[in-house]
Amino acid sequence: MAVIQKLRNSGMVVIVVVAALVLFVIGDLLNSRYGSNNNSGEEGVIAEIGGKKFKEKEDLEPLVDKIYRQKLASDPKMAKKMQTDEKFRLKTVKEIYKSAWEDLIKNNVLMSEIEKSGITLSDADINEMLVGKYPSETMRQIPDFQTDGNFDAKKVEMIFKQGKANSELKANLLSLVESVTNYEKIERYATYISYANVKTKAEKEFEYIVSNQGVSGSLINFVHNTVPEKDIKATDEDLQDYLNRNKEKYKFSQEARNIKYVVWDVVPTSGDTMEAYSQAMRTADGMRKQTEPDTFGSVGFYNITELPEDAPEPLKSMVWPAPINAVVGPMYSEGNFYIWQKVAEAKDTVPTVRVSHILIPSSGSLPDGTVMVDSIMAEAKANEVYAQIMGGVDIAILAPKLSTDQGSAEKGGDLGWAAASNYVPEFAAFCKTATEGQVGIVKTQFGFHIIKMMEEPQSKKIKYTQSIIELAPSPGTVSVIDEKSRAFRNKVTADEGSFDKAMEKMAIVPRVMKDVKTENLAIPGIDATADVKTIMYWLFDDKREKGEVSDVFSFANRHVVVMLENAKHIGYAKLDDVRTEIEPMVREELKGKKIAEKLMSFVDKAKTPAELARMAGASLIPIESLKLSQNFIPQIAAEMRILGAMFGVELKKFSTPVIGKSNTCMIWIDKRDDIKVPKSAGEAPDAFEMYNRPNYVMNTLQEVLTKKAHVQDYRYKYEWF
């Protein structure tokens, strides 16, 4: 947990959320979707995991509600900001649903696997994690469970007793206990798996042989490109045979689509731009001529931290310091011309400050490796850093090297704008009295802070009006694109190849995207999420057939026509699913078979590798002490099948032909090293041991289990995705 989160008082445990507020901030998106059609065949199904269907109402919304309440508990001001800042609200809702989705997957993939393993926690285990001598890291980090910066078990017990009489507090505490216990189960399971994933003595000894054994001899080799392409005919039988032998490699765990599509961008012309700018200028001039500003639709009062987070920079840099009634603009930002008028100002009872800090802990290591032994040493280091800053060294340069608050250190120590009262008392006291440029040292429960006031503290709120003139394509501009896109679509018929012929006739360059999945939120050339989701909805309709072409998607900034080239369904691939992918490999294999026949026709007549190479017209490649661990063969590079075969063929005999990726050869091995394995080899530490630690194991395990569960994602049907 970042220190800045600890610095700010949270009041985590006593939050009452009224139903109306919950409904306001997330409720309107619960039923907002593109329609009732669903690939799963049922209304409201959001996912399939391991063949089981999960619905938004019954399965996802309880997780959404829990996460939302947790966020409110840790940041009580979030609710107010969600009410006043629509962009922030939508962003927060999406974040909440994303977290809920991840929990849904984890609960039904990882946690269900843990449950099968038999890992459980006793009451004594849970008690130890919550209030024992060795509480969980999560419990230790929550400020509400601390006294003077240290975990206080008695305080935890008191809060849990309060929960018996407070249903909201009880719900929050139960959620906390669930999080703590689940995390512990995951830790234990990961540890169990990592212990079971160790290399045996025999495996280490074998690896020693592989790394040190060398072979010497010769390869009688042909490069595949010596076979003319015209001599190779890859039939459907050849392709199907290859697919049958490699079917596991081409097994789909998710629905996927291959598409070909055409995009016409709808871009404002220079005339459209001038018209929008002229309109913005007329609006600004009209506002400046008013004797009294029109306050209808004004927003605020806001302090500098409460301004909408997507507000253009001029709102802070130009409107904020401007005199009352001043008009700023028009200013262009991301497709709009903005005009602002500051209509009122009020004094804020709590100053808002922007400070940077460097945190030196009373004990522990700094990012540069310096170890703080005690508070005396930490204070001395803080004084040293203070002197450097007062001497002109930029705090932003020192923070990444010295501050243990990683969240702010990455930003040069900058904590951004915040109310002074948000910080712990000692920190807040400095913020309430300091002026721009002032530097000080403050001791808190977290250690010593070297703080610098980066800008003059603000003690005001402003109220302003905002006029937005959108720079949009004119009807005439849209009409031109509409004519082009519809002319193309009208040329496409049901005949095979019609789409390509229409593109060729109209000199249009197509775009192609393979393996489109439902979780994709971007398609090259189509960056608007809503546009992508509309295409997904068409693309993943159960009734959609290969070769089908969409009508024109007339989006605000582009027109699109899509052709479904292929639909890949869960399970083993069909030949048409992978034809273009496997055909080059099949052709290489067929070349190898021709070469193998040629080599075999001479092998009975040759007594040495040199004779066979001469008779067949092949290259003779000498091999000298080649090791498997080298991962390449001189002159033919990374041919792992050939390299591996060298260590299994009989000595001083021609091998059967070995067909590689780009080479086919016969192998003659004169000598294979006899390796004596030292006792130390079986006892040596594993060079990759760090990748067998619980955290690495769990990441891999989560990925494998999720793939095995064949998770089908239907979130694209919902507005909040």
Q: Output the pTM of the full model.
A: 0.67
Give the pLDDT mean for 9-32. 36
- Please say if the pLDDT value at position 15 is more than 60: no
Q: CA angle, 330 as apex, 324 and 332 as ends, to 5°? A: 125
Q: Round to whole Å and give the CA distance between 498 and 561.
A: 13
Q: Within a 13 Å sphere around the CA of 171, how many CA atoms are in the beta-carbon half?
A: 15
What pLDDT band is residue 2 in, cutting at 50, 70 and 90?
A: very low
Per-residue tokens: 303:
């302090």
Report pLDDT for 550: 97
317-328 burial string, b = 16+ CB within 10 Å, else e? Answer: ebbbebeeebbb
- Please say if the pLDDT value at position 33 is more than 90: no
- Please say if the pLDDT value at position 23 is more than 80: no
Instruction: Return the CATH fold of 256-267+474-569.
Output: Chitinase A; domain 3 (3.10.50)
Domain boundaries, the chain: 3-195+709-717, 209-252+576-672, 256-267+474-569, 268-472
- Please say if the pLDDT value at position 102 is more than 80: yes
Q: Round to whole Å and give the CA distance between 625 and 613.
A: 21
The helix/strand/coil state of 259 is strand
Backbone torsion region of residue 156, taken as left when φ is above 0, otherwise alpha when ψ lies between -120 and 50, otherwise beta:
alpha
| Percent over 90 (pLDDT), the chain | 55
Give the pLDDT mean for 492-521. 93
Report pLDDT for 657: 98
Closest among 487, 478, 499 to 558, alpha carbons compared: 478
Inter-residue contact 539 to 516 (CB < 8 Å): yes
User: Cβ–Cβ contacts within 10 Å for residue 193, how many?
Assistant: 16
Asked: is 268-472 a CATH 3.10.50.40 domain? The reply is yes
Report pLDDT for 390: 95
Q: Round to whole Å and give the CA distance between 412 and 417.
A: 14
Give the pLDDT mean for 624-631. 90
- Please say if the pLDDT value at position 274 is more than 90: yes
Higher pLDDT, 582 or 32: 582
In this predicted model, what pLDDT tens digit does every residue of 275-296 receive, in sequence order?
A: 999 999 999 999 999 888 888 8
In this predicted model, what pLDDT tens digit does every residue of 577-598 receive, in sequence order?
A: 999 999 999 999 999 999 999 9
Q: Round to whole Å and give the CA distance between 412 and 415.
A: 9
Element (H, E) at 384: helix 375-390
Report pLDDT for 42: 62
In this predicted model, what pLDDT tens digit does every residue of 173-213 receive, in sequence order?
A: 888 898 899 889 988 998 888 888 788 889 888 888 888 99
The two domains 256-267+474-569 and 268-472 share their CATH topology (first three levels equal): yes
Give the pLDDT mean for 331-359. 91
Inter-residue contact 173 to 160 (CB < 8 Å): yes
In this predicted model, what pLDDT tens digit does every residue of 407-418 receive, in sequence order?
A: 899 999 999 888
In this predicted model, what pLDDT tens digit does every residue of 533-547 receive, in sequence order?
A: 999 999 999 889 999
> Beta strands 214-223 and 663-672: pairing type?
antiparallel
- Please say if the pLDDT value at position 28 is more than 70: no
Report pLDDT for 334: 86
In this predicted model, what pLDDT tens digit does every residue of 670-701 receive, in sequence order?
A: 999 999 999 888 787 776 676 777 777 888 88
Report pLDDT for 24: 38
Average predicted confidence (pLDDT) for the chain: 87
